[in-house]
Amino acid sequence: MIKETVTRQATGVKPAILFIGSQMATGGAQRVLLDQAAWFYEHGYHVTAAFLYDQEGVHQVWQEIYPFPLVNLNICPPGGRTNPLRTFSGLPRIYRFLRNHRFDIIETFSHYANLLVLPLAWMASVPVRVGSHHGREANFPNLLNRLHSFIISSSITTCMVAVSQQVSSYAALEENIREDKIIVIPNGIQAADNRLLAPSQPVALRAELGLQPGAHLVCSVGYLTEQKGHRFLLEAIPLVIQKYPGTIFAIAGDGPLLKELKGQAEALNLAGAVIFLGNHSNVADLLSLADIFVLPSLWEGLPIALLEAMGAGVAVVASQVDGVEELIVDNQTGLLVPPSDSQALSQAILRLLEEPEFRVNLGQQGKWLVEKEFNQDQMCNLYRNLFENLLEGRQ
């Protein structure tokens, strides 16, 4: 396969790249994968995107959106849970897929994809095998964590990309991954769509959310799991609406804690103040109305939801964790609060509601930072340079 790669380069044909993640679902890692695949496709590369299974039954919808092949390797039924027997029975199918398509480069996008696919790519003689690390993997068994570290640190993996300096340090110090195998490439997003909404759209959105004239909108976007810390946001709301009645808190996203969080909101008497939107079809429109974005996470890599909010010029309040600190300079590009601290969340939100000029300036500074240092072109050019250098080293 290396000979074929050299032949392609000699004839000016760009490499074939496979981007592969664990599950088809709404999430930051999936967004990075698809955006990166689209960028390389637009720049003339032979691109395929694949996932181990379709968690939310979105394969057909996604394939209609993207012009490159999108493959469901189907090691688990839609909406189901993986099990060891089905996972292992799917490995030969993944190997044949890799062997038959003769990719030059593979990039994996989660601990599970690193663990399962990189050894198969090595066995299938894919020349360049790049893992990635987007932050701590929740409930990842210790045995699998040790195996993952071995796979990344060995010759099975060419290198691993960490999405922030904090993630890189965590991988080296806590997961014992060889430092010389780790390369930091921060996440990046496309420039925010600065088009004006049609006159009817803000009115319709405000009506949908129940926003009264002059009322404030605070939003949060993320998968509803323990990691994302939404319960601390809910605990922070009573103090805010006591001072600013009519403020709406919109939480976009789905996940296993949805029922529990709705129960918590009811117990806190937050009816009318909190709206659970599920997987919202257009987060950009939601951000266009938002006064404040809150990320109450307990840990993060370099969160796409936060990048998108800052890129849209929305003032942000976020937990002082991991890669978040590489995005937010406290009181300059956002407000940082200790994780799991509902009181601090309340006070930060109240400060931004009480100081509109400061809030607007905070949003503008955050937008400038994202456009300058965390844009998609910058991220993908770094990946392109990495891929090309690694391919040249394999000749």
Q: pLDDT tens for the chain, 395 residues: list them.
A: 555 555 555 556 899 999 999 999 888 889 999 999 999 999 999 999 999 999 889 999 999 999 999 999 988 766 555 555 567 788 999 999 999 999 999 999 999 999 999 999 999 999 999 999 999 988 889 999 999 999 999 999 999 999 999 999 999 999 999 999 999 999 999 876 543 344 445 677 778 888 888 899 999 999 999 999 999 999 999 999 999 999 999 999 999 999 999 999 999 999 999 999 998 767 888 999 999 999 999 999 999 999 999 999 999 999 999 899 999 999 999 999 999 999 999 999 999 999 999 999 999 999 999 999 999 999 999 999 999 999 998 75
Name the E strands within the chain: 16-23, 46-53, 70-72, 105-108, 128-133, 159-162, 182-184, 217-221, 248-252, 274-278, 292-295, 315-319, 335-337
Name the E strands within 272-388: 274-278, 292-295, 315-319, 335-337
Cα 255 to Cα 229: distance, rounded to the nearest angstrom: 12
pLDDT at 40: 98
Strand ordering across the sheet containing 292-295: 274-278, 248-252, 217-221, 292-295, 315-319, 335-337
Residue given tokens 């921060």 in the structure block: 186
Q: How is domain 200-373 classified at the CATH fold level?
A: Rossmann fold (3.40.50)
Bridge partners, 248 (sequence order): 217
What are the residue boundaries of the structural domains of the chain, listed by start? 2-188+375-393, 200-373
The yes/no answer on whether domain 2-188+375-393 falls in CATH 3.40.50.2000 is yes
pLDDT at 26: 86
Q: Do 2-188+375-393 and 200-373 come out as alike in CATH topology?
A: yes
pLDDT at 205: 78
Tokens representing 150?
A: 């071995």
